[in-house]
Amino acid sequence: MSTPDPSTPDLSHVAPREKAEILAQALPYIRQFHGKTIVIKYGGNAMTDPALQQDFAEDVVLLKLVGLNPVVVHGGGPQIDEALTRVGKKGQFIQGMRVTDEETMEVVEWVLAGQVQQDIVGLINAAGGKAVGLTGRDGGMIRARKLKMVDRDDPEKLHDMGQVGEIEAIDPSVVKALQDDQFIPVISPIGFGKDNESYNINADLVAGKLAEVLRAEKLVLLTNIRGVLDKEGNLLTDLTAKRIDELFADGTISGGMLPKIASALDAAKSGVNAVHIIDGRVPHAMLLEILSDQAYGTMIRSH
């Protein structure tokens, strides 16, 4: 008899019939999504809590093993802030975006492409997967240009954000090659410009755009909130792109949720079948959302 892996959750309290029902419920979803690409934006608590990190890595490996093709794009705001503090710099933000001068860009690169990316790669590999870390430079993946940030109150005024970029083009060939070889790509949201300069790009935007060019079945955004809430604070589990436009217009969606939902909406309108905004604070929320009929966040359908 094989010895159980100590890291495996103990399911001895679950009746065999219930275990079978859990597996049977996942089967139609596994069949439906087999061979399809799922782009996952990894951030928030799921990224900083050690138990949730472990859950995330196991979920990604399981998705790969049952025949889906996960691609991970990660953020790293808190880790960047911590590193900047260590070198005596204070982060400066305009309209929620980090101003990135040359020195800050160096810190961003070594935190995202070094520490954070390699932590995620290590976690996935330890959970039995084969992860490979990439930045937008690898394979010429993410071409970017300097972001021109328009002032929220005065459209005539532009803010200089330093080396913050917007995406010019994505060439996904390196990601596809890795997927075909059974690897799980882990991507840091750093692009390069025409003069080989580096750009810091919002990870939600990179995940959304990558989902579009890979023609992903799903885009999953792990966040620190339950999903999209109505004005009474109830979770909206199933929305169409049209309904999201209405929620923007009447102010239901505002503040920090705007950029996240905007990139989700763009992806849904550009051919990604479903975008899931998931509460990353719930253990295994991603797996449950994709492979069961339980809702652990908000799903935005393309139509």
DSSP 8-state symbol, 229: B
The rounded distance, in Å, linking the Cα atoms of 29 and 90 is: 46
The rounded distance, in Å, linking the Cα atoms of 47 and 39 is: 16
Pairing of strands 69-74, 37-42: parallel
- The set of residues, in sequence order, having a beta carbon less than 8 Å from that of 208 and lying 6+ positions away, is 219, 263, 264, 266, 267, 272
Pairing of strands 37-42, 218-223: parallel
Sign for the pseudo-dihedral over CA of 41, 71, 45, 94: negative
Residues making up the annotated binding site for substrate are 76-77, 98, 200
219-to-72, 173, 194, 268 alpha-carbon distances in Å: 10, 19, 29, 9
Residues making up the annotated binding site are 76-77, 98, 200
The amino acid that residue 157 corresponds to is K
Residue with tokens 């900047």: 84
The amino acid that residue 137 corresponds to is R
Tell which residue, 77, 207, 184, has the closest CA to residue 136.
207
Tell which residue, 50, 35, 205, 185, has the closest CA to residue 121.
185
25-to-19, 29, 111 alpha-carbon distances in Å: 10, 8, 40
Dig out the tokens for 139 from the structure.
Answer: 């394979």
User: Is-contact 244 300, C-beta < 8 A?
Assistant: yes
